[in-house]
Amino acid sequence: MPRSAASQRLETAAAQLEQAAGLLGESGTLSSEDREAYLESAHYVRLVAGPGGWRRLQASGGSSGPTKNMALTLDKNLKGALVAASEEFETPLSQVVAEGFQAVLNGTWTPPRVPRNLNAELATLNVRVDKGLADQVQALAVELQERLGYRVNQSRIAVSYLAWDLGVEQPGVGEDVLYLALPKPLAEYLESRAASEGVTLREVAEDGIRALLDGSWSPEFTERPRTASGTYKAQYASGPNGEVERAGMSIRVDGELLDSLREWVARMAQDVDFPMHPGKVVRRILTDRLGDPAA
């Protein structure tokens, strides 16, 4: 059958497994261990359903021990942006969380302070991670919380690392530096094009933000096109392991200007049915002014 039809059936199967896990778990028909097995099966079915599914399954199958499901509670708009980013880079969210947990254990990444947003509309994001790895992080979280002086736990680490690694600003965490995660070919193109025009990415970004705020530039923001199976259409070719190689880009922006952009994005997010975040707007500014090789 066509790939899109096969993907749709696999996605339906994954959703049915998750629904069964919830209903049978609530009724007491399933033990907690069996419920976890249902959720784990759904995770891998969904992994295979995506682009480069078999390669991604092999790449993410590094855990030889038991896994656990983590139900992460986070801002609904943030969840949508993370899912969109993972689909663009063809990288499973569970894999990114595992990388984040390992980075915390290695001491190469520190979770930021995340203020509570009592007005946020919340959603749940399910990821699966190696149980042994998660247990190590939970034990370390107690020590980190005492040392850092703010609340740290597995869930906060997972959400914060997802946001940082995938270039989606977490509400209340941003400073004067905007961190973007872009397909590597696009990042290299933008840097080269800016250099050839004798401008910096900061100058391009700030000019675009000012134009957006004063109304002299009014771009139409839409959701990226999706395939028949419901996933985002790939704009850049994936590598041998089925992922789109990504590159980080840090752009320091005037603090007041960036705060105004964040306020604009927050208002915009209430009026659209797809995820919005500052990085998405700045990416649009850069590609609008410097071009996009995949356009």
Q: pLDDT digits over 116-153, tens only?
A: 877 778 888 888 899 999 999 999 999 999 999 999 99
CA-to-CA distance for 84 and 49, rounded, in angstroms? Answer: 16
CA-to-CA distance for 76 and 74, rounded, in angstroms? Answer: 6
Crossing angle between the packed helical segments 201-214 and 255-269, to the nearest 10 degrees: 50
For residues 179-198, give the mean pLDDT. 95
Q: What pLDDT sits at residue 202?
A: 96
Which range, of 54-63, 114-123, 177-186, averages the lowest pLDDT? 54-63
Helices (H) and strands (E) in the chain, counts: 11, 4
Q: Is the pLDDT of residue 42 over 90?
A: no
CA-to-CA distance for 15 and 244, rounded, in angstroms? Answer: 25
Terminal CA-CA length for the chain? 30
Cβ contact 224:84 at 8 Å: yes
Mean pLDDT across the chain: 83
Overall pTM > 0.85: no
* Strand 177-183 versus strand 122-130 pairing type: unpaired
Cβ contact 244:89 at 8 Å: yes
pLDDT bucket at 57, cuts 50 / 70 / 90: low
Q: 212: buried, middle or exposed (CB in 10 Å: 19+, 13-18, 0-12)?
A: buried
Q: Rounded to 5 degrees, what are φ and ψ at 130?
A: -60, 130
pLDDT bucket at 91, cuts 50 / 70 / 90: confident
